[in-house]
Structure 1
Amino acid sequence: SCREKGLLLGVVHPNRTKPPVTALKSALGEGRFGKIIHVSAVLRWNRNAEYFSAAAWRGTKLLDGGILFNQAIHNIDLLNWLAGPVEEVFAYGATRIHSIECEDVCACALKFRGGALGLIEAAVTIYPRNLEESLAVFGSRGTAVLGGTVLSGVKEWKFADMTEDESRQQAEIINGTPNTPGHMVVLRDFISAINDNRPPMVSGEEALKTLCLIKAIYRSMETGRPAEVHYIEGCDRP
């Protein structure tokens, strides 16, 4: 492994760097949501036949995977990072319109170890264009809904410790924060991590958590039953 060889392993999950997402992560860390009740991630995008035919590897089990391993992996990563770890999932997946080996639509329910519930809806079957990429967190003392077609803005930002005016002003500030392309942020951080001899923004252990969750979703899709999430030892801490 990289750890045994003294190598640094980093993974690109660019959604973690978006200003609305970093603000949401901070609010969770400050306990402003109170008890987390439920969370959701929605990805309603379009990938047409030309997209899949443009490269032979797309949509294949060996080299790509379906919507879970390609497009929605970043949304699933956010749920795991913000509210995880996940204890159990129950999912349905299907290949509805594309001539590919893997799923192009998935719906999944999650049960988190902390008691919260979650939902994932992901599809690349939306007509005629990308429609929505959203993330929502609902707590006993706060609500945050991020949205847009690429998870780029704040739709709701309300907390019990803020007035309506304060909530609106903070949402406007977050929406107005410049968004450096996420891949660039992650790559710059990785270079700094090498120079500073520290873990990168998204370590190999962090990425494994998301892979373990997706594998559980696939097990549920294949069996038609709930599936426990088996995190690799050392990667199951929040």
Structure 2
Amino acid sequence: MSVRQSTSEPALGGHTVVITRPAGTGSSMARQVRRFGGVPFLLPGLSLREVADPAQAAVALAAALQDDLLVFTSPAAVRFATRLASLRTHATVLAVGQGTARALRLHGVSEPFAPTQRQDSEGLLDHPALADLRGKRVALIGAAGGRGVLRTELAARAAQLREVHVYRRAAPRWQKRQLGAVAALPADARVLLSSAEALGCLRDGLPAKAYAALSSAIAVVSSERLAEVAREAGFKRVVVAASAMAADLLEAAAR
């Protein structure tokens, strides 16, 4: 990891770092924050849950594994998919980001492709395998909702598209002590944001006093698109990271 650090002062300098990743997924980043001298604060923006009918999802996934191309939208998509079926397939497998590709390799997919520069839907759509999809069977594996960029563009490129929802997103449940801690956040806290949907849940679900304190802190976002969303949601100070990867978000938080 490349977060800058001098011999005299940790890179994060004792700043509070708010981790908004989905409930149950932020512990690894919290350890990294501590390692580089920050104070982690877990405030999930989403809760990830299994779909209402796992048996039906398993049947849909088994059919999708026979398609020409599989597109996994997130590490969560990989994690929940493996609960339904083995990911053995002869299809070309693509991932929206390096984190998703790493999850695929951990579950036996040897050569998934993921963009290295722009790690988002737009970056993935630049891959030559997705340039001309006429007659190709393409499965988009993830959750319902989201921005819909992949869904719209893959259909526009004439793919025979199927969507397989292997998990669902829901609003998180915060404890009273979390809400009190949010309301007392220092102004120099860093808020790590990599999902517009999570930010929306925080904006709509937190008490007004707590959200006012959160949006008065420094937003560290994973893309220029999300920077615009954060500003519209009330953040006045926004820093853009190179990607949604933990190393890039913490690098930006240390600036």
Instruction: Give the TM-score, by structure 2 length.
Output: 0.24
Q: Return the structure number with greater relative CO, CA threshold 8 A, min gap 6.
A: 1
Instruction: Give the TM-score, by structure 1 length.
Output: 0.25
